[in-house]
Amino acid sequence: MRALANEQQIGRQRGHRARALSFALALSLLGSLAFAPIASANFLTLKHGGSPNANQISSLYNIILYIAAVVFFVVAGALLYSVFKFRAKKGAVAAQVHGNTRLEIGWTVAAALILVALTVITFVKLPKIINPPNSSTGGLVLSASVTQPTPPNGKKVTVCVQGRQYIWRYTYGNDCLNNAFASKLPYSYQLMVVPANTTVILDIQSTDVVHSWWVPSLGGKVDAVPGYTTYTWFKAPKASTPQRPVIYHGQCAQLCGRDHAAMTAQVQVVTPAQYTAWLSRQSDLISKANAQVTQLRAILTAQGVLSSNGNL
Amino acid sequence: MSAVTEHAVRPVPERALRPAPQVTAHEIVTPRRTKRWIDWVTTTDHKKIGIMYLVTTFVFFGLGGMEALMMRLQLSEPNNTLLSGETYNQLLTLHGTTMVFLFVVPVMAGFGNYFVPLMIGARDMAFPRLNALSYWLLLAGGIVFYATLFFHPPEAGWWSYPPLASIQFSPSGGQDAWIFLIHLTGISSLLGAINFYATIVNMRAPGMSWGRLPLFVWAILVYAILLIIALPVVAAAVTMLLTDRHFGTHFFDPTAHGSPVLWQHLFWFFGHPEVYIMILPGFGMISEVIPVFSRKPIFGYKAIAASTAVIAFLATLVWAHHMFASPVPIVVLGFFMLSSFLIGVPTGVKVFNWIATLWRGSIVMTTSLLFAVGFIAIFVIGGITGIFLAVFPVDWQLNDTYFVVAHFHYVLMGGAVFSIFAGIYYWFPKITGRLLDERLGKLSFWVMFIGFNMTFFVQHALGLSGMPRRIYTYQPGLGWSTYNLISTIGAFILGVGIVLTIINVAINYKRGLLAGPDPWKANTLEWFTTSPPPVNNFDVIPRVRSVEPMRDIRRQIERQTGVSQKTGGSERFARM
């Protein structure tokens, strides 16, 4: 009997030590979580600031975060309280309760009501996320186009985004979707240049596997699926200045092969004047490069390296 | 409606005072004619098959865990060159496929195999030889898949989205091995599911009506039904992929008017029920463990059983929430947001009921309960982040990022795996006749709990900072480096925690304290027989009068003998 009691006492001491250890470990966890946000931003919030749709998604996210935090603390609080409060003690008897219909209906309805509220909030916010606004005054003045989606006044810049293993190609021009290669539209790879305060519509396609277009600060991601065209838009308020370049980073978000990690995208926002200048310079560079290729082909054909139809 | 029952004052009918069976089962010793390993290979005993399932799936769990650690090492710092993009993609495909098809789904079949017949008072599964076939098909699937390690493992991820998984972009046979893995494990699970269904519907003990079925058995029943609904769809889809790859069809080929989105629909029509296939048996284990160690009946038995069925029904209606960024009309997205919200209600009901079961209990904090409580805490976070992902505009930002990785690891690693560990600590004494070490178990829990949260909590922040999933490296200066380092350290702590339990099992498998038939003073029939149970499980199958037949039996014996039943080692756990 005494041996047993002794053993129990030792057991209890060991229990205390284990509890102290577990508290220490929990503290270290909390510590690492508390210091992590200092390391960089976006610990609990979404990236935004580059476009109204990204901002709207971010504020929708924040509303859900507040509701979620309340739900979490209530549920976790009840769990912790019951675990600490209702430990087995001498003489304590567990309440033999099988259920409580009123309570159970109550929390089912409460959970449903929270979700109804979230649904309403989402659908209230939705139009501002999916429908592009007009370009602001001071934005680029453009002709109308029939491609979806379209701001109310129909004026927008269209950029065709083509995903391929493992680079993004951008073709600039309202007609880019129909003839991305045939027409002499300016294009660029990896770095997209867009005018500020202007509604930019992206027509997204893929030439090989599924990719996903995503620049977090400019809005949500859109898959680039071969055989489909998908659309998104953004409207960046700030243009680059020589001191502060405005460049938003993003990358392909859908596994597309071995160099998926290298399929990055940069979007540089410039003033409308700089944008038109950049476009014509880009066209110039492309036609010069094309001229060089034609010249080289002519030389190689003359030398007999290429046959007359341009093949090796 | 008052649901409080007073046991002390209820008159005892004369009939109930018949002598309670004292010897609950006995081992029939037959002279051994064959070698031990032949016993195992040729067995049709549900308990041996269950053990083989558990051991095999834990081997795969170890392999999948090592793959995860290698990926975490690669991501621990920016521009790391430990692994190439090719190897990383192979590892992520192996890890995902292993954990889903070779660990979580079949480990639940392992628990189900061992405990469903015992819990419903049956002597075996309905189709014992089919049961053995299920196991061997699972093993064959695992071997076919892991044999690719010596050739060329698949690298298109566990969703294998075409065109990436089609022959042009994945020419290696690894992708075909993946298809055969889906077929073999699929047939294994399908046969197992039919077997569970037939067993549970037909072989319950006398008196065990649907309202007295243990909640774990309810969960396995619904798990089986979901498998029967979901698996033929993925079997068809991978067959279409196979014919696309080798026999000239173009189901998913966009260059011949096929549609890659068709694959996504078919795959996720299977894939989302699969999530509930993985977690519902875990819910069932939690619903068994919590009342036993709270010394209280489960709160809202009917609500928990019904919510299991409702979750299963809704699980077939939510698949496209995996495809919010795919070319799908907005109205469809709205529908799938609402259906995904709906599934939050029955899941919430379960959590509330578990907490209400703990409430005003007399809680004995064993390792098993510790894992169950840890499960609830973690699962609540995983459930809440699921609501974020169901809101499709928010999902446009979060989909395919580390936020999603964090979410489903909270649900599957923190959810399913923690419930599996609760189940291991709870049922190990029944399987082996010996108790696991409680102190080592608790240490294992705390190391796992801390390691888990360290690994995956910061991954929410990684996703919010714009890190997509499945990238094998990243540049410095994006705000991802610190989070990734924390996550990697956490992953190794988590690994240590899991190893502690494996050590615990290895030590106590032969040397642990003897458990006796009912060490926990539990509620269900598996504790009515010896530990480990004999081949025939029970000599006498008692008449079941409530959800807690073992409690009734203990009470009956106490009334007849006038002394409190000393069962196994339960007194050791009276005050912990």
Q: What is the pLDDT of residues B500-522, one digit of tens each?
A: 999 999 999 989 998 888 889 89
Would the CB atoms of A64 and B391 count as touching at under 8 Å? yes
Indicate if B189 belongs to the active site. Answer: yes
Task: List chain A pLDDT tens, one digit each, 312 residues.
Answer: 444 445 455 445 555 555 665 666 566 656 555 554 444 467 888 988 889 999 999 999 999 999 999 999 999 999 999 999 888 877 777 888 888 889 999 999 999 999 999 999 999 999 888 888 887 766 655 444 434 567 777 778 889 999 999 999 999 987 787 765 666 789 999 999 999 999 999 999 999 999 999 999 999 999 999 998 898 999 999 889 888 999 999 999 999 999 999 999 999 999 999 999 999 999 999 999 989 988 998 888 888 888 877 676
Single out the catalytic residue among B321, B442, B521, B551. B321
Angle between helices B215-246 and B174-202 (to 10 degrees): 150
Three-class secondary structure of residue A161 per DSSP: strand
Q: How far is A134 from chain B (nearest CA, A)?
A: 21
**Predicted local distance difference test score (pLDDT) of residue B6:** 41
Tokens representing B337 are 């947001």
Residues from chain A that touch B351, judged by Cβ atoms under 8 A, are 75
A17: exposed, middle or buried (C-beta count within 10 Å: 0-12, 13-18, 19+)? exposed
Q: How much is the average pLDDT of B363-390? A: 95
Give, in words, the CATH class of B50-573: mainly alpha
**Predicted local distance difference test score (pLDDT) of residue B124:** 94
Tokens representing B290 are 């919590």
Of the candidates B101, B44, B122, which has an alpha carbon nearest to the alpha carbon of residue B227?
Answer: B101
**Predicted local distance difference test score (pLDDT) of residue A139:** 61
Residue B84 forms contact with A (CB below 8 Å): yes
Q: How much is the average pLDDT of B83-103? A: 96
**Predicted local distance difference test score (pLDDT) of residue A34:** 56
Hey, which residues 370-409 in chain B have their CB within 8 Å of chain A?
373, 376-377, 380-381, 384-385, 387-388, 391-401
Q: CB-based contacts of B543: which residues, under 8 Å, 6+ apart?
A: B205, B206, B207
Would the CB atoms of B334 and A123 count as touching at under 8 Å? yes
Q: How much is the average pLDDT of B202-218? A: 95
Residues in chain A: 312
Q: How much is the average pLDDT of B75-89? A: 95
Q: What is the pLDDT of chain B when averaged over all its residues?
A: 91
**Predicted local distance difference test score (pLDDT) of residue B5:** 42
Q: How many CA atoms lie within 13 A of A281 on its CB side?
A: 7
Q: Please give the C-alpha separations between residue A311 and each of A294, A295, A300, A304, B97, in angstroms, as whole numbers.
A: 13, 15, 10, 11, 45
Between A85 and B134, name the one with better pLDDT. Answer: B134
**Predicted local distance difference test score (pLDDT) of residue A1:** 41
Is the pLDDT at B344 greater than 50? The verdict is yes
Q: What is the pLDDT of residues B460-481, one digit of tens each?
A: 999 999 999 999 999 999 989 9
**Predicted local distance difference test score (pLDDT) of residue B329:** 87
Would the CB atoms of A258 and B155 count as touching at under 8 Å? yes
Q: Please give the C-alpha separations between residue B488 and each of B74, B382, B450, B459, B530, in angstroms, as whole numbers.
A: 9, 20, 13, 10, 44
**Predicted local distance difference test score (pLDDT) of residue A256:** 94
**Predicted local distance difference test score (pLDDT) of residue A38:** 45
Domains present along chain A, CATH in parentheses: 40-88+97-130 (1.10.287.90), 157-303 (2.60.40.420)
Between A161 and B2, name the one with better pLDDT. Answer: A161
* Cα–Cα dist B468/B473, whole Å: 11
**Predicted local distance difference test score (pLDDT) of residue B34:** 72
Three-class secondary structure of residue B346 per DSSP: helix
Please report the ipTM that was assigned to this predicted complex. Answer: 0.87
Give bridge partners of residue B4 from the DSSP assignment.
A97
Single out the catalytic residue among B24, B170, B189, B419. B189
Q: How far is A272 from chain B (nearest CA, A)?
A: 28
- Which range is least confidently modeled, A86-100, A112-126, B4-18, B137-151? B4-18
**Predicted local distance difference test score (pLDDT) of residue A130:** 86
Hey, which residues 305-344 in chain B have their CB within 8 Å of chain A?
325-327, 330, 334, 337-338, 341-342, 344
- Count the neighbouring beta carbons within 10 Å of the beta carbon of residue B485: 17
Tokens representing B346 are 């029955």
Hey, which residues 32-71 in chain B have their CB within 8 Å of chain A?
none
**Predicted local distance difference test score (pLDDT) of residue B60:** 97
Residues in chain B: 576
Hey, which residues 269-298 in chain A have their CB within 8 Å of chain B?
none
Indicate if B158 belongs to the active site. Answer: yes
Question: Which residue from A minimizes the CA distance to B456?
Answer: A33
Q: What is the pLDDT of residues B440-466, one digit of tens each?
A: 999 999 999 999 999 999 999 999 999
Sign of CA dihedral B256, B257, B260, B265: negative
**Predicted local distance difference test score (pLDDT) of residue A114:** 92
Indicate if B347 belongs to the active site. Answer: yes
Using CB atoms, pick whichever of A37, A214, A256 lies closest to residue B164.
A256
